[in-house]
Amino acid sequence: MQPYLRPAPGRSPPHILTLVALSGLAALSMNVFLPSLPGMARGFGVDYATMQLSVSAYLGMCAVLQLGAGPISDRFGRRRVMLAALVIFLLATVGTLMAPTAGWFLVFRMLQAVIASGLVISRAVVRDMVPAEQAASMIGYVTMGMAIVPMIAPVVGGVVDETLGWHANFAMMGALGLLVLIVCWWDMGETVRGHGVPLRQQIATYPELARSRRFWGYALSATLSSGAFFAYLGGAPFVGETVFHLSPAEVGYWFAAPSVGYAVGNFMSAKCSTRFGMNRMILWGSAICSLALIMALTGDLTGHQSPLLFFGAVAMTGLGNGMTMPNANAGMMSVRPELAGTASGLGGAMAVGGGAALSALAGALLHDDSGAAPLLAIMAASSCASIAAVLWVMARERNLIRGED
């Protein structure tokens, strides 16, 4: 693997580790504090469902912001948009540390969602540089590195919570955000060709993107596959504490399970996507997710509840998502390469928006007597629907083999 993406003449792309840092910071802000959620709810004097909005509402805000980040970066460039997003993220993080009430905390937490621009822009930078099949492989490498952050973050977050309190996790976010800002300022060159695509021209081409069944198939596959993971983010802290009676640190340890699987799946994508093709990798990944979750749900319903069964199934879900997501994202951006940022933003907004809805649904359905079954049922249904989405794409490509959509 080349340490730098191959640039067109006159352009200076960022080091691949810079892209990993951007994606990793977005992942860190999403899950480092999850083991603290029950304790934060008690600290602010609110119920778990209210504090869980820091996950579900945050994901919803990420979806909205990704819709804008992609087109804006297509127009004004990846570098300027990313630097501005990092500054806003740092200011919002200071706000979460100073918030006197749960309401103010949630306001600043929503502003932190601007860091989701890192997910959109890092994918778009890759697509700026390389063609679709190679982009799937390169995105696999980027997100494989990114997977290390959410694998470690909940473990560290749980330990930090028990020793220093939940505020320390947000202080850590701020320190890492400042570091990433410095790295981006120094290393992240511009990769958009020319002066970017004017917003008016982008809007004029939206109908063509919107009419593309390939785009919607890939976007739905990514949305439904990642939806299982986002539902897990919303419900797993409750399941860990209430169903399995785990401490925050223990929840953090178990939270590493999907990240381990995701890293392995990303590695498989990086090595195999160019050989087997995007569609097969998406199909195989979605099938792995579905099978693991159906088995775990069956075990839960028959009284075989254990952290090993639950988190083991989620680890396999992470593996499947690691195979699915790089290929689905590359597929979305291959429909109109000149609008890679727009496609990445729209697809990312769908994935995160759908995830926010499933995360909120999981939080609403879980209660003291429910066990893990409602969460597993949501995750399994979402993964099975992802299989249907990629089969739709494959059917279209078999029946309409031609040099267009």
pLDDT tens, N- to C-terminus, the chain (405 residues): 444 444 443 356 788 888 888 888 888 888 788 888 888 888 888 887 788 788 878 877 887 887 777 778 877 888 889 999 999 999 999 999 999 999 999 999 999 999 988 888 887 787 777 665 566 667 766 766 666 676 677 778 888 888 888 889 899 999 999 999 999 998 888 877 655 556 666 666 667 777 778 888 888 888 888 888 878 877 777 788 778 888 777 777 787 777 778 878 878 887 888 788 888 999 999 999 999 999 989 988 888 878 888 888 888 988 998 888 888 888 887 777 666 667 766 777 787 777 777 877 877 777 767 678 888 898 999 999 999 999 988 887 777 665 554
- The answer to whether 149 and 260 are in contact (CB under 8 A) is no
Q: In three state form, how does the secondary structure of the chain look?
A: CCCECCCCCCCCCCEHHHHHHHHHHHHHHHHCCHHHHHHHHHHHCCCHHHHCHHHHHHHHHHHHHHHHHHHHHHHHCHHHHHHHHHHHHHHHHHHHHHCCCHHHHHHHHHHHHHHHHHHHHHHHHHHHHCCHHHHHHHHHHHHHHHHHHHHHHHHHHHHHHHHHCCHHHHHHHHHHHHHHHHHHHHHCCCCCCCCCCCHHHHHHHHHHHHCCHHHHHHHHHHHHHHHHHHHHHHHHHHHHHHHCCCCHHHHHHHHHHHHHHHHHHHHHHHHHHHHHCHHHHHHHHHHHHHHHHHHHHHHHHCCCCCHHHHHHHHHHHHHHHHHHHHHHHHHHHHCCHHHHHHHHHHHHHHHHHHHHHHHHHHHHHCCCCCCCHHHHHHHHHHHHHHHHHHHHHHHHHHHCCCCCC
**Res 38: pLDDT:** 80
Domains of the chain are 16-187+198-399 (1.20.1250.20)
Q: How many CB atoms lie under 10 A from the CB of residue 193?
A: 12
- The answer to whether 372 and 94 are in contact (CB under 8 A) is no
**Res 214: pLDDT:** 83
**Res 4: pLDDT:** 44
**Res 194: pLDDT:** 58
| Tokens 């097969």 belong to residue | 280
**Res 151: pLDDT:** 64
